[in-house]
Structure 1
């Protein structure tokens, strides 16, 4: 049964998976008091790079316990102070989560006309038939509307205002047909047919823009259909998954392993399992975000922007079984892309053979796709251009700096490529 708010609308399920975030926050904060004796004695294990900071913290604790005015029970006073601060932080986090789950904001942007559809997939025409067509391809694991988040934060609507005809792939939620798909089926099948629909409609080759995982799909597409692709744009697209932190990439692949026996029955990796995987990148991100949200005025623009983005993050879609295996075990585990072992339709995806004009926009503050991973791709594409805006992975398309750092350079490059 779906929980309802007072006005009868569904209560938000996020942050997903809620149980995991609650447990991570509680376990981390409640361990603070328990860790004090170990920290004081020097028995608390630290990673070597943190050793000097840990020693400095020990000195500060010793000084605080002996500070004049603290009385003979300085250690107990400190423990109580830590306990009060722990309770305050837990309360702030839970307040933020509760306010988010009850916030009145609901995204109400109407979808544009649909140019083409197949199975669960739609091609949304933000230019309403006018302007130079540009095909935008998002990830398979997130909803398409991160590129059309809200009236003031919509790359699609802004591009239409610049005279382009943005056509956005909405992959939809996998159904019985898609659960049998592999990456080859998505790229050499559905995505190529979507491209064909745009080329047939416009009568000429069109540029394609891939965001995150969508950039991997469009890289393969540009290789397979060079006569239909007028240009390739890569937004925060990973390539060398072991470039900055091979251990973390391999942990992501290992995380997938327990689900292996269930994938055949499910036919997909559930959304909450994927969200749990992303949570590993920064286990305390939820604590930071929702504590900050608790300090915002509920009716402020900042609060509404937070809820809009968080709703999108929690509105994920499952990843079909074969794609999950290829992406997690292949890309993250074996680094098939950079190693030259990623095959689509039996042929290797070799970016060195790409001959269409290429632009890579790589946000330097990206914590989801490390910049070194993304830079590895344009470095092997002949004559590829690269722009590195001072933004994050999601901020590059929806933040206050997105229009200056990404949207305008993108539009200018597309206009220059003819």
Structure 2
């Protein structure tokens, strides 16, 4: 008998999300105008911010105008909070006991260095090297049957290869972005030199790495696809980016023991984008039929999200301090191996795929990159950041347009390749 699968740990970090739910309830109760006595008046002694005081006054006025008893309003709020919290816990429990487990055949390894591997998904046709983010596992692009961008492309006329960055070991924990780009990524590209010039596709943060590599080695790249790739980190005013960057001094002692930002800390930073999103989506999941395709896709994506990797501390400093705080890419001040990364210097054909529902990379941030590229095709993707790559509509929204674009990229010294 095979051992049971390991228990799911998500949503990570669970204490954070349970604490946020409790804080939401406390904030709601603190806004209720105090009246009566006993346990129903517990919020009266709590210090309140001016916005909370204003909200309490507004609620009190509305209750008085409608002649609604404050006790009934308070009871309704408590009932709603209890239902929401119970729904979230029910959804988390349903996720943790769900029988779905990822079962995808492992592709052959063509090259390996440290924790990084070059995986061969096969296929006949022009070679496409896919570069994922350093933060999450690469297998979101090979999620499950029917939800694998890599296997779809390999079966549709491309020779597909994936650079899986892997888990940062002792060597990688001292890596900078230059080490990853001018070192590991370029050596992976060199390992494929027998295939000729590559199509290079970068997803999210991987798009920035791919852009820098293409600019440095245009002899090895004939087309570049940038999928949900940020560029102007202050495109939306920069407040959220600066707030994230302001956390860097507090992160330093937390990075010191391992030389990385640990996975749960990274998940905490991402939770700051929408602190109550986890509660909402698990309440919704708890209402799904567990046997439905929608429920299985939810579990697959949550398993991926919770299977994160740490980020090397030098890279974290470059990203938070250089990208988020100082907006170095958009200002022409991001350097790799001593040279500025400038999209205007990349003269090859480029596909820029911008998901319109992206909450991780604001669309305006990606549009700024498209505007700086000389020869580009801009694809407006009707999906979100993750949905564009692995969602139920990803084939029509991104995979097929990416394939069509690749078919039109000229081969070196000739016309379009054709698929």
TM-score by length of 2: 0.90
**1:116 paired to 2:111:** yes
**Distance apart, 1:383 and its partner CA:** 2.0
**1:384 paired to 2:376:** yes
The aligned counterpart of 1:155 is 149
**1:143 paired to 2:137:** yes
Distance 1:342 1:232 in 2: 19
Name the CA shift for 1:195/1:61 in 2 (closer, same or farther; >3 Å): farther
Q: Give the one of 224, 234, 238 matched to 1:246.
A: 238
> 1:323-370: CA deviations, max 9, x gaps?
111011110111111111111001111111111111100011110000
Q: Give the one of 161, 166, 178 matched to 1:167.
A: 161
Question: Which region of structure 1 is more displaced relative to structure 2, 290-299 or 185-194?
Answer: 290-299
> 1:176-219: CA deviations, max 9, x gaps?
1111211111000100011111222x1x1011000000000001
* Structure 2 SS opposite 1:317: coil
Distance 1:55 1:384 in 2: 54
- Two-structure CA RMSD over aligned residues (Å): 2.2
Distance 1:34 1:415 in 2: 59
The aligned counterpart of 1:351 is 343
**1:16 paired to 2:8:** no
Name the CA shift for 1:379/1:150 in 2 (closer, same or farther; >3 Å): same
Maintained 8 Å contact 1:255/1:277: no
Distance 1:58 1:14 in 2: 40
Question: Which region of structure 1 is more displaced relative to structure 2, 374-383 or 28-37?
Answer: 28-37
Structure 1 runs of 4+ aligned residues shifted over 6 Å read 53-59
> 1:368-405: CA deviations, max 9, x gaps?
00001011111111122211112111111112221111
Distance 1:318 1:153 in 2: 25
Name the CA shift for 1:55/1:109 in 2 (closer, same or farther; >3 Å): farther
**1:280 paired to 2:272:** yes
Maintained 8 Å contact 1:263/1:321: yes
Name the CA shift for 1:306/1:329 in 2 (closer, same or farther; >3 Å): same
> 1:232-262: CA deviations, max 9, x gaps?
1000000000101411001111123212134
The aligned counterpart of 2:262 is 270
Distance 1:81 1:196 in 2: 65
Distance 1:21 1:399 in 2: 24
**1:289 paired to 2:281:** yes
**1:82 paired to 2:74:** no
Distance 2:59 2:320 in 1: 39
| Matched ranges for 1:220-369 at <5 A | 220-369=212-361
> 1:77-127: CA deviations, max 9, x gaps?
111111111111110011111111222111111111111111100111111
* Structure 2 SS opposite 1:379: helix
* Structure 1 SS opposite 2:329: helix
Q: How many corresponding residue pairs?
A: 397
* Structure 2 SS opposite 1:338: coil
The aligned counterpart of 1:70 is none
TM-score by length of 1: 0.90
Q: Give the one of 387, 390, 400 matched to 1:408.
A: 400
Name the CA shift for 1:205/1:61 in 2 (closer, same or farther; >3 Å): farther
Distance 1:389 1:227 in 2: 30
The aligned counterpart of 2:121 is 126
The aligned counterpart of 1:29 is 25
Distance 2:364 2:34 in 1: 38
Distance 1:307 1:371 in 2: 27
**Distance apart, 1:310 and its partner CA:** 0.3
